[in-house]
Amino acid sequence: MHKKTSITNILWQFWNQWLKYRSVDPVVSFARLLITLGVGLIAPGGVWWVIVSLKIQQKAIPVSLTFSFGPDTVTYTGLFLLIAGIVLGSLGLYKIKKTRSSCLVYMRGMPGMHDQPPVVNLPPKYRFGEVTHLSLDSHNQDQQDVLKHIEILTKMLDDKIFSMNVEAPIIVFAGLAPVPLLYAVGVSFLNRSNLKVMDYNRFEQKWHMLDELDDGENLKISYPDSVIDEDVAIAMPFTLSIAEAQIPQSLRDKIIWIRLSNSSEPKTDALSSEEKLKRILRDFHDCIRNLRSREGYENIKRIHLFVATQASTVFKLGTEYQANVYPDIRIYHFQGDEGKYSWGVSVKSSKFELVDVPGL
């Protein structure tokens, strides 16, 4: 009895999978059609239980050919279609698992966040194959310990992908955490292919992909007039305003302001288009990469980042890091209840270190 139940469950799971993928892969869709026809032919009392006789008599050929289709023939045909559908469907499901599986990396770093990754918020196209997940909890954790976990995150991800036994899974990152930690995670994801990112809508309390249309907005970069030595600051007020008074006194005359060109004021959903984010990231990367080639910027050793933007943007900024091009990058956390920047993370040669805000 247990054996029958197990076989029934397996067949039922197969059928559910084929229903799920019926419009995804043509092989699976055709396999489902074969199974439907096969079951219909086998079913007793079905409309397919008819006897059709076809007799062909050619005058020039003294031979009579008779083709007879009866219940037995129909049953065997149905059984053949059923088996063919199961085999073909299994191959289709295997193909989908190999090419359409995804790994959701979930960073839990803010109070009130759910313990479980938001798998249900993934678009259907990322849930066609196997969906696995990897979680990193930084809420109420020591910052130094979190940095150590981030440094080994790449190995954890590689092990997770290896256990999936798929060709090139889609990697989706969803996380809310202090800005320096999000940036550090982004750095650890360097050179990852098929990398997507989700953002959190606080009003709808729902995770979503960056699926809005590109509005064509660009970056507007303003450079300081003062002499730059070894330190320069970059302020990016995309979603919230950054007051010059909030930046350490020693850096206030060395601020490169990077704003969105069409926005008179910061807005919460400034970068909710994947295509727009790609352009912004490219311009941001070019700004840092070419900074030392500007007159008066030749001796820069440290760039201090003060970023107010969406979590997805901070993470993607980290993925642009290049150890052989970037100087020491220091990115800081804004302590809202104190109204000032309180601590930061230094990224140098892809290594992380906790740092204080200059002047504290």
Distance CA 136, CA 240 (A): 26
According to the model, what pLDDT value does residue 24 have? 53
Tokens of 263: 């926005």
Amino acid at 335: Q
Phi, psi of 123 (to 5 degrees): -60, 150
Calculate what percentage of the chain has a pLDDT beyond 70.
78
Is 231:297 a contact under the CB 8 Å cutoff? no
From the CB of residue 200, how many other CB atoms can be counted at a distance below 10 Å?
19
According to the model, what pLDDT value does residue 309 have? 94
Distance CA 131, CA 161 (A): 11
* pLDDT grade for 67, boundaries at 50, 70 and 90: very low
| 61 vs 94: which has the higher pLDDT | 94
Distance CA 65, CA 54 (A): 9
* pLDDT grade for 319, boundaries at 50, 70 and 90: very high
In total, the chain counts a number of residues equal to 360
Distance CA 233, CA 250 (A): 10
In order of 17, 19, 55, 296, the CA distances from 231 in angstroms are: 57, 59, 95, 12
In this model, does residue 78 exceed pLDDT 80?
Answer: no
Q: Where exactly are the structural domains of the chain?
A: 2-99, 101-356
In this model, does residue 209 exceed pLDDT 60?
Answer: yes
Tokens of 8: 């029934």
Phi, psi of 145 (to 5 degrees): -65, -40
Strands (E), the chain: 52-57, 64-69, 102-108, 131-137, 170-176, 195-201, 206-209, 219-222, 231-237, 255-260, 302-308, 328-335, 340-348, 351-356
Question: For residue range 101-130, what is the model confidence (pLDDT) as tens digits?
Answer: 788 999 999 888 888 899 989 887 777 767
Tokens of 302: 């440290």
In order of 242, 322, 359, the CA distances from 349 in angstroms are: 28, 8, 24
Phi, psi of 87 (to 5 degrees): -65, -50
According to the model, what pLDDT value does residue 86 have? 80
Distance CA 306, CA 329 (A): 11
Is 258:235 a contact under the CB 8 Å cutoff? yes
Question: For residue range 147-192, what is the model confidence (pLDDT) as tens digits?
Answer: 999 999 889 988 888 887 776 688 999 999 999 999 999 999 988 8
Is 302:327 a contact under the CB 8 Å cutoff? yes
Give the count of alpha carbons within 13 A of 105, CB side only. Answer: 25
In this model, does residue 348 exceed pLDDT 90?
Answer: yes
According to the model, what pLDDT value does residue 53 have? 36
Distance CA 153, CA 182 (A): 13
According to the model, what pLDDT value does residue 280 have? 94
* pLDDT grade for 37, boundaries at 50, 70 and 90: confident
Angle at 170 between CA 159 and CA 164, to 5 degrees: 35
Is 259:237 a contact under the CB 8 Å cutoff? yes
Residues whose CB falls within 8 Å of the CB of residue 118, separated by 6 or more in sequence, listed in order: 104, 106, 174, 198, 207
State the chain's mean pLDDT as an integer. Answer: 82
According to the model, what pLDDT value does residue 124 have? 78
Tokens of 274: 């994947």
Count Cβ atoms within 10 A of the Cβ of residue 216 and give its class: 0-12 exposed, 13-18 middle, 19 or more buried. exposed
| 316 vs 11: which has the higher pLDDT | 316
Is 200:206 a contact under the CB 8 Å cutoff? yes
Is 291:303 a contact under the CB 8 Å cutoff? yes
Prediction pTM value: 0.75
Question: For residue range 257-300, what is the model confidence (pLDDT) as tens digits?
Answer: 999 987 778 888 889 999 999 999 999 999 999 999 988 899 99
Distance CA 81, CA 193 (A): 40
